[in-house]
Structure 1
Amino acid sequence: MSPVTLDTLPQAVTRYLAAHRLHETAAELANFTPDATVTDDGTTHSGIDAIERWMNRTAAEYSYTIEPLAVHETSDREYTVTQRLEGDFPGGVVDLRFRFTLRDGLIERLVIEG
């Protein structure tokens, strides 16, 4: 893994991160391939409809702020952004790795893990 900056991430990742910070579901979804998958809390959500349900549920469940801590490029298609979330969820603060895999300029896979 090599460190990069937020400014040098592919556009789909930077657009997703900006929309995610603002909890703008439609803007987040626009960065995914139609057959994308998101894995969060050990559960995989496949396809845009399932991802949208996951986004709406998590946005309604807790209030939180997001601060990027580190950005790494794993390959020309894979990027990891470590972010600190602070909010009203159990524990109140958590650092999560958002692992992105891209295809044709869009997010094909997102894995979120602690």
Structure 2
Amino acid sequence: MPRPRIDLSYEDFEKLVAEAVRTTTDKHRMEIRRLHCQLKDLNGQVDELKRLLEDCIVSGKSFTTTYIDVQRVPSHPHPAKPDRYYKKSDRHEARPHRSTSRLRNHEK
């Protein structure tokens, strides 16, 4: 059963996020932005973030201390891009950097 949708325009949603970022500490600012970028494209979860932000701003609570467990926010090299841009094969991970192997060959 789908969650009830909140009637918030995109602009209002962006204002809520901006307000959450403005009213929180520097330490958590990036987590909100990262979470915001990740949730923007996922169905259903955007509504959840809207609701949480709305609750916090209405009640005057801190968004980060109430809802974000910093340990659970995944770090992502570029939050606006999906994960598929960052998946590397295991073989690629295991290979040493090109310049190091060139140096090694030069020493022989």
User: TM-score, normalization: structure 2?
Assistant: 0.29
Give the strand-richer structure, 1 or 2. Answer: 1
TM-score w.r.t. length of structure 1: 0.28
